Amino acid sequence: MVEITLIQAVTLALARAMEEDPRVLVLGEDVGADGGVFRATDGLLARFGAERVLDTPLAEAAIAGLSIGLAAQGFRPVAEIQFTGFIYPAIDQLVNHASRLRTRTRGRITCPMVLRSPSGGGVHAPEHHSESPEAMFAHIPGLRVVIPSSPRRAYGMLLAAIRDADPVVFLEPTRLYRASREDVADDGAGLPLDRCFVLREGTDTTLIAWGGMVREALAAADALAQEGVSAAVIDVATLKPLDAETIVASVGKTGRCVIAQEAPLTGGFAGEIAARLAERGLMTLLAPIERVAGYDTVMPLPRLEHLYLPNAARIAAAALRAMAYA
């Protein structure tokens, strides 16, 4: 057991997977000699060699396409895209090939690849380095979409993603890379890729979040407790497939719900969760579902980023509105 950050947990999981399975490869821009832009692959080149840790050209479509080819031939590639703002050229490969390979070949060929990328804001990066496009990937049939929010979950979920027989988009909240430490056992144990994690039980309202918003939801729950409001906190963790059962069950107990996402409001994944609750838990609701999100505009980086991003105060305020509803 060692106390490590989320980014160190990613490195630990990659090393464990590569040690256990010679089919696991790491590829991407600067993942070799430089150890990745955020140091996620630091030390892997020296440990596993240049045949398994591959520096690629600045060509995201090629990175994704090469990964699909490797996966189809029996390897288990883990590709890194430096920022989600650079991930869009890879979407063609994900939509038209990675996500369809199993059905296209009637199950004869699968695509066991992982596409990793830092995601979200909070680090004052320039231009389009701080986006949260998770809903876009969740809309693609055939892809899993995973967003860990703690070192322990990053370790276990990345191992499970690498071992999965189908493609996984693994988005890592940049702001959480070095935000906290947690004891993580390097025991090779994976975590389920189809479950939400209930981080806190509550009786008055349910706060639902993923990625960088999980810490804000937990802070909001602490603030609400000072107001006498008992808030459950759920980390969605895997957006696709969505564990709607856990969410519906929690909201069934509390009767109120706040969903927090970092992405812009319109078309965001919070809307999908709200729809599931409307379909399966409408009669248990005591107040309208609240969504706390980014704004429908390009993030105003870097100086106004803090005004764009949802925070604990906005989440708590939404919960209090729901509590006041009569």
DSSP assignments along 76-127, one per residue: EEEEE-S-GGG-HHHHHHHHHTGGGHHHHTTTSS----EEEEEE--SS---T
Q: What confidence tens digit (pLDDT) does each residue in 14-35 have?
A: 999 999 999 999 999 999 999 9
Say what the pLDDT of residue 316 is.
Answer: 98
Q: Does 296 share its domain with 266?
A: yes
Q: Does 174 share its domain with 216?
A: no
Q: What confidence tens digit (pLDDT) does each residue in 260-318 have?
A: 999 999 999 999 999 999 999 999 999 999 999 999 998 888 788 989 999 999 999 99
Say what the pLDDT of residue 302 is.
Answer: 79
Type of residue found at 132: S
Does residue 314 form part of some domain?
yes
Q: Does 47 share its domain with 174?
A: yes
Q: Does 172 share its domain with 215?
A: no
Q: What confidence tens digit (pLDDT) does each residue in 36-63 have?
A: 999 999 999 999 999 999 999 999 999 9
Examine the fold and report which residue of 184, 212, 243 is the final residue of a domain before the chain moves on.
Answer: 184
Examine the fold and report which residue of 150, 184, 218 is the final residue of a domain before the chain moves on.
Answer: 184
Q: What confidence tens digit (pLDDT) does each residue in 209-244 have?
A: 999 999 999 999 999 999 999 999 999 999 999 999
Sort strands 182-184 and 2-4 into parallel, antiparallel or unpaired.
antiparallel
| pLDDT of 127 strictly over 90 | no
Q: Does 278 share its domain with 305?
A: yes
Q: Look at the alpha carbons of 52, 10, 169, 61 in this order and tell me if their dihedral is positive or negative.
A: negative
Does residue 99 form part of some domain?
yes
Examine the fold and report which residue of 163, 184, 205 is the final residue of a domain before the chain moves on.
Answer: 184
Does residue 189 form part of some domain?
no
Q: What is the mean pLDDT of residues 191-212?
A: 98
Residue 123 corresponds to which tokens in the numbers above?
């680090």
Does residue 305 form part of some domain?
yes
Does residue 190 form part of some domain?
no
How many domains does the chain contain in total? Answer: 2
3-state class (DSSP) for residue 229: coil
Q: Does 34 share its domain with 137?
A: yes
Helix H or strand E segment including 200: strand 197-200
Does residue 143 form part of some domain?
yes
**Can you tell me which residue has the tokens 């840790």?**
53
Q: Tell me how far apart the alpha carbons of residues 74 and 67 are, in angstroms, rounded to a whole number.
A: 11
Instruction: Return the number of other C-beta atoms located less than 10 Å from residue 37's C-beta.
Output: 16
Give the confidence band of 124 by pLDDT, cuts at 50, 70, 90: confident
Q: Does 37 share its domain with 171?
A: yes
Say what the pLDDT of residue 1 is.
Answer: 82
Which domain, by its residues, includes 143?
Answer: 2-184
Q: Tell me how far apart the alpha carbons of residues 239 and 175 are, in angstroms, rounded to a whole number.
A: 19
Do the Cβ atoms of 141 and 88 come closer than 8 Å?
no
Does residue 249 form part of some domain?
yes
Say what the pLDDT of residue 129 is.
Answer: 83
Q: Does 231 share its domain with 164?
A: no
Say what the pLDDT of residue 326 is.
Answer: 67
3-state class (DSSP) for residue 197: strand
CATH number where 317 lies: 3.40.50.920
Residue 63 corresponds to which tokens in the numbers above?
């990175």
Does residue 90 form part of some domain?
yes
Q: Out of 97, 129, 139, 306, which one is annotated catalytic?
A: 129
Do the Cβ atoms of 230 and 190 come closer than 8 Å?
no
Say what the pLDDT of residue 304 is.
Answer: 87
Q: What confidence tens digit (pLDDT) does each residue in 138-157 have?
A: 999 999 999 999 999 999 99
Q: What is the mean pLDDT of residues 168-186?
A: 97
CATH number where 61 lies: 3.40.50.970
Q: Is 129 a catalytic residue?
A: yes
Type of residue found at 101: L
Q: Does 286 share its domain with 179?
A: no
Q: Does 36 share its domain with 133?
A: yes
Q: Does 157 share its domain with 221?
A: no
| pLDDT of 128 strictly over 80 | no
